[in-house]
Amino acid sequence: MSGDLLARQPVTSLKGVGAALASTLLRLDIRSVQDLVFHLPRQYEDRSRITPIGALRTGLSAQVEAEVQLADIVMGRRRSLVVRVQDGSGQLTLRFYHFNMAQKEKFVRGARLRIFGEARIGAAGIEMYHPEYQAVSADMPPPSDTLTPIYPVTEGLTQLRLRPLVAQALTRITAHNLPDWLPAGEARGWSLADALRYVHAPPRDADRVALVAGRHPAQQRLAFEELVAHQLSLLKRRAEIRAQQAVALPPAGALHQRFLQALPFPLTGAQTRVLAEIATDLRSPQPMLRLVQGDVGAGKTIVAALAACHALEAGSQVALMAPTEILAEQHALNFTRWFEPMGIRVALLLGRLGVKARREINTAMADGSAGILIGTHALFQDDVQFKHLALVIIDEQHRFGVHQRLALKQKGEHGDIAPHQLIMTATPIPRTLAMSAYGDLDTSVIDELPPGRTPIQTLVLPGERRADIVERIRAQCLAGKQAYWVCTLIEESDQLQAQAAEATFAELQVALPELRIGLVHGRLKSAEKIAVMQAFKNGELQLLVATTVIEVGVDVPRATLMVIENPERLGLAQLHQLRGRVGRGAEQSFCVLLYQAPLGQLGRERLSIMRETTDGFRIAEKDLELRGPGEVLGTRQTGEMAFRLADLLRDAPLLPAVQDAARKLLAERPADAQALLERWVAGREHYARV
Ligand code: ADP
Ligand code: MG
């Protein structure tokens, strides 16, 4: 037997844990004694000593002993019970919003109280809201000599009940049932057992500020181990993929040449380099798994089309998946224009297609008469069968969930033969994050924009300037330019978004009667969406009012002005994507961020970054700094990066060493690596599949 034996001891083997408590613990995903040991505190309280009021620090909870001076009911915005206490070093105000008269009566002048709460700055100086308190008496328990851990709990399970259970679980740890899989040299001076014991019960003089922030060396030791385990799961997944077979695609010849010759421009150096990397992968009998990052407008579509040439020339099929119908339609138009003259049929599969049209497409893919299938997630939800799918291209992958990507890949699998995968994203992922989020993928970066682009000028203006902006749109459009007006809403609801856009559309039609204005949002039928986009692309519409459905991929080079309403509601990465819809030609483009005043400090800082730079990587770094990894990777992926205690942003400095340690462990002690992975990632492993 291998692995952690402690994981095989059920919680019911602990004293005092019966079936009822076990099922409550299950709600916290705690099944084994080991799960308890890894159930780590979120917070710490210091009940080990009495802190003089004069030494309280705001934001930290502390225990004080003090004498009641007065108790009063104050009628403010909300009625509150205010109790003033003092201990000789200072005064403290206790404030209760929920209270009863009996409670007030107990705060008699001169009574001595032991009080526990978090110190804050309030209207009356230092205050505690709803502190715990009790009268000082002779039979009070002696103060503990360690900090008190505060655990994540659930209904029916209190801290008081959980604490002794964890303490009991800790006594079960032995070198035999919870070994140090990490070599001592990598363990930063702590054995696993010592680090765990420390974080569950730090001595009273421990650095509590560091502990609360997760920066204590004992916690960093654990975070390091967790990150190594996560990295191992990515390496392992990578190895699994490498172990599969793929159809080796010979270097493309005639088709590739014809495609390049038909292009009205030469490829950029970066496009050429990335294509060479892709071609090398495709030649191999192992499946390619390559992530291509390229900022908005870098020219990823052409790269996808040229990659497709390799498969098509070998007589195989290509699937291209896009996150929105608008983008799928746009790709279908481009690919049809490029490939049909060469005799390759392109099919477009949309969610709302009729039965007959769908059957027709299915037949064409199954008998191989169509070479390229383009669509949204309908591609894998459906019963589409391919004759010979050799390459899967996923555009704007950050918009898809993990499972969708895996499902499409499985379509191409015949026994052990897997399709090659090309994954494209415009979300620039800061390097530190990429190493941990996409460790299973090879990465290429298109780090150069096509020549002749003029950088977009971004203006940040308050909503009061709306009328000026409308005038500006009138002038620009009458001068032959095109513009977007983007309505944002925090709600994800299509319906609310559509309503907001409809209202703006109506309003702008009144304000700008001389302009041809279109409206596009997620509630339109696909045919309607497509018609509106097409009319805008052809220049029949001058102004397009849209929701964020146009965020990804849409390419209308003649549009040079974009207004984004309430940009403060969106993440920086999303704003950057949206803004990338303009600035696609040689002409000067403008983006107006029309915010709702007043903006907070953070809001101002964020929007000014958008004004200062059009470099997606810098914007993403900043977003990461201001909002954390969940926001940068997109909400869909937040849950997929669920760590017990590691934090990619905080622990970024550990990542290079994490990578080294993981690689070394896997090479030198594969069984230990597997055990470590199971310790931290087991059951969560599917999350690691990006
Ligand atoms: P993205 O990387 O955002 O998907 P697209 O593939 O939509 O970018 O390309 C943006 C625009 O740049 C398109 O109009 C495309 O035709 C154009 N383009 C792509 N590559 C080049 C190039 N090498 N030279 C000039 N224009 C290019
Ligand atoms: Mg694109």
Nearest ligand 1 atom, CA 446:
2
Residues shown for the chain: 690
- Ligand 1 centre from 305 Cα, in Å? 12
The alpha carbon of 52 and the centre of ligand 1 are apart by a number of angstroms equal to 66
Looking at the CA of residue 302, tell me the nearest atom of ligand 1: 6
Does the CB atom of residue 555 touch ligand 1 within 6 A?
Answer: yes
Structural contact between residues 423 and 394, judged by C-beta atoms closer than 8 angstroms: yes
Q: Is 576 in the pocket of ligand 1 (CB under 6 A)?
A: no
Domain 6-45+150-178 belongs in CATH node 1.10.150: yes
State the distance from the centre of ligand 2 to the C-alpha of 10, rounded, in angstroms: 51
Measuring from atom 18 of ligand 1, which residue has the nearest CA?
Answer: 299
Q: How close is the Cα of 277 to the center of ligand 1, in Å?
A: 19
Sign of the Cα pseudo-torsion (117, 121, 126, 129, in order):
negative
**Distance from the alpha carbon of residue 302 to the mean position of ligand 1, in angstroms:** 7
Which residue CA neighbors atom 26 of ligand 1 most closely? 450
Question: What is the number of the ligand 1 atom nearest to the C-alpha of 268?
Answer: 23
| Structure confidence at residue 490 (pLDDT) | 56
Ligand 1 touching residue 330 (CB < 6 A): no
| 322 in contact with ligand 1, CB cutoff 6 A | no
Whether ligand 1 lies within 6 angstroms of the CB of 584 is answered as yes
Judge if the beta carbon of residue 268 lies within 6 A of ligand 1.
Answer: yes
Query: What single letter denotes the amino acid at residue 502?
Result: E
- Regarding the beta carbon of 585 and ligand 1, being less than 6 Å apart is answered no
**Rounded to the nearest whole angstrom, what is the distance from the C-alpha of residue 549 to the centroid of ligand 2?**
14
What's the Rg (C-alpha) of the chain?
30
Beta-carbon contacts of residue 288 (< 8 Å; ≥ 6 apart): 246, 278, 281, 282, 420, 421, 422, 442
pLDDT computed for residue 410 by the predictor: 60
One fold for both 6-45+150-178 and 54-143? no
Count CA atoms closer than 13 A to 486's CA, side-chain side. 28
CA of 37 to the centre of ligand 1 (A): 53
Q: How do 61-75 and 79-86 pair as beta strands?
A: antiparallel
Ligand at minimal distance from the CA of 270 is 1
Report the atom number in ligand 1 closest to the C-alpha of 271. Answer: 23
**Closest atom of ligand 1 relative to the 301 alpha carbon:** 6
How would you write 90-145 as a 3-class SS string? CEEEEEECCCCHHHHHHCCCCCEEEEEEECEEECCEEEEECCEEEECCCCCCCCCC
- Can you tell me the distance from the alpha carbon of 129 to that of 94, in angstroms, rounded to the nearest whole number? 6
The CATH number given to 457-613 is 3.40.50.300
10-residue stretch averages of pLDDT, the chain, 690 residues long: 85 95 93 95 86 90 92 87 94 91 89 91 87 83 83 87 94 94 88 96 91 93 94 83 86 88 94 96 92 89 96 94 87 94 93 84 93 87 82 79 51 72 80 67 88 90 94 94 87 71 93 95 84 91 90 82 91 86 88 90 88 87 68 44 77 86 93 92 47
- Domain spans of the chain, in order of start: 6-45+150-178, 54-143, 254-283+299-425, 457-613
Q: Is 426 in the pocket of ligand 1 (CB under 6 A)?
A: yes
Q: How many angstroms separate the alpha carbon of residue 450 from the centre of ligand 1?
A: 7
Architecture in CATH of 254-283+299-425: 3-Layer(aba) Sandwich (3.40)
Closest CA to 113 of 129, 90, 132, 141: 132
Please name the residue whose Cα sits nearest to atom 24 of ligand 1: 450
Q: Give the CA distances from residue 464 to residues 461, 486, 500, 599, 603, in Å, rounded to whole numbers and listed in that order.
A: 8, 17, 18, 13, 17
Looking at ligand 1, which residue's alpha carbon is closest to its atom 23? 267
Residue 145 alpha carbon to ligand 2 centre in Å: 60
CA of 274 to the centre of ligand 1 (A): 14
Q: What are phi and psi of 407, to 5 degrees?
A: -65, -40
CB 448 less than 6 A from any atom of ligand 1: no
- SS3 of residue 42 by DSSP: coil
pTM of the model: 0.71
Our answer on whether the CB atom of 296 is closer than 6 Å to any ligand 1 atom is: yes
Proximal ligand: closest to the CA of 328: 2
Instruction: Quote the CA–CA distance of 575 and 567 in Å, as a whole number.
Output: 7
Class of domain 54-143: mainly beta
